[in-house]
Amino acid sequence: MFGGRGRYGLGMRVPLIGVAAAVERATWSVWDQSAVLLPQSYLRAIQRAGAVAVMLPPDPLVARQPDLVLDLLDALLLAGGADVDPLLYGAQRAAETHHGIRERDEFEIALAQRAVERDLPFLGICRGMQVLNVARGGTLIQHLPTHVGHGEHLRVPGSFEGADHPVHLAPGSLAAAAAGGQRQATLSHHHQGIDRLGDDLVVTGWADVDELPEAIEIPSKRFALGVQWHPEADEASRIIAALVERAREYALARAA
């Protein structure tokens, strides 16, 4: 399904991949202030796959009218980051849940909901997988060590050092096709996970260590996938390239 191709085909437009960005306090040069940012690894992975990455800052107008942005894109990627506000899935905040930016949560949930409705190629990474589940009416486990009894899903905060984490993927699934096989070595960095599954979603990947859901997808869509690990941090991973390939097909179909 996701075999190799040339970077560009004759008359083929380079696909545009929208990547939702975080709002965080940041320092650079002489500045220390609120900033819209993304780890460069997401952008580099998209660029290596032959697409153009477009950063999407949280925007209340777009949250109300997602088509303003989605009309311009060939795929949407939701990146990792802070915990989703539990009030958005009907839960009280646990002591271990980190305070995020509500504006970002609402923006990304609106984008995810509408991208799925439009059948726009979609990939959620780590937090992005959790946003997809919440957008479809699902809920989250707020602190995995309390739930599963260990900290293997987040060994070193702020680092992928020693984060190797094998998962197994369902045969015939989008997750397995995108990853290139049913066994996947992954880099993991999360303390939350899927609890109740959202509408139309199926679990197609599980952690070897405890069978925690590691991949979810909507089989009826062309490419609607969430992975709990970080393919952008692994240059050998094929996941983001698979999204770009499907975005290229989507762009060709739109042009036709």
Note whether residue 5 is domain-resident. Answer: no
Number of structural domains found in the chain: 1
Whichever domain contains 138, its CATH number is: 3.40.50.880
- Give pTM, 2 decimals: 0.93
Note whether residue 10 is domain-resident. Answer: no
Give the closest residue to 134 by CA, choosing from 99, 71, 87, 66: 87
Phi, psi dihedrals of residue 235, rounded to the nearest 5°: -65, -15
| Cα dihedral value 49, 216, 153, 243, nearest 10 | 0
Lookup: tokens for 113? 């909901």
Query: Residue 227's domain spans which residues?
Result: 16-255
Say how far apart CA 173 and CA 179 lie, in whole Å.
Answer: 10
Give the closest residue to 213 by CA, choosing from 243, 170, 174: 170
| Catalytic one of 108, 126, 190, 217 | 126
In this prediction, residue 189 carries a pLDDT of 80
Bridge partners, residue 185, by sequence = 166
| Helix residue ranges, H only, 39-100 | 40-48, 60-64, 67-70
In this prediction, residue 163 carries a pLDDT of 63
Q: What is the mean pLDDT, run by run of 10 residues, along the chain of 256 residues? A: 44 88 93 94 97 98 98 97 96 91 96 98 97 98 84 70 85 98 89 95 95 97 97 95 97 88
Neighbouring C-beta atoms of residue 224, cutoff 10 Å: 25
In this prediction, residue 9 carries a pLDDT of 46
Note whether residue 40 is domain-resident. Answer: yes
Note whether residue 8 is domain-resident. Answer: no
Residue 232: active-site member: yes
Say how far apart CA 207 and CA 192 lie, in whole Å.
Answer: 13
| Catalytic one of 214, 217, 232, 245 | 232
Note whether residue 85 is domain-resident. Answer: yes
In this prediction, residue 161 carries a pLDDT of 75
Contact 111, 66 (CB under 8 A): yes
How many Cα neighbours within 13 Å face the side chain of 146? 10
Residue 230: active-site member: yes
Note whether residue 2 is domain-resident. Answer: no
Note whether residue 25 is domain-resident. Answer: yes
| Helix residue ranges, H only, the chain | 40-48, 60-64, 67-70, 102-118, 127-135, 144-148, 174-179, 239-255
| Catalytic one of 165, 168, 191, 230 | 230
Note whether residue 82 is domain-resident. Answer: yes
Residue 126: active-site member: yes
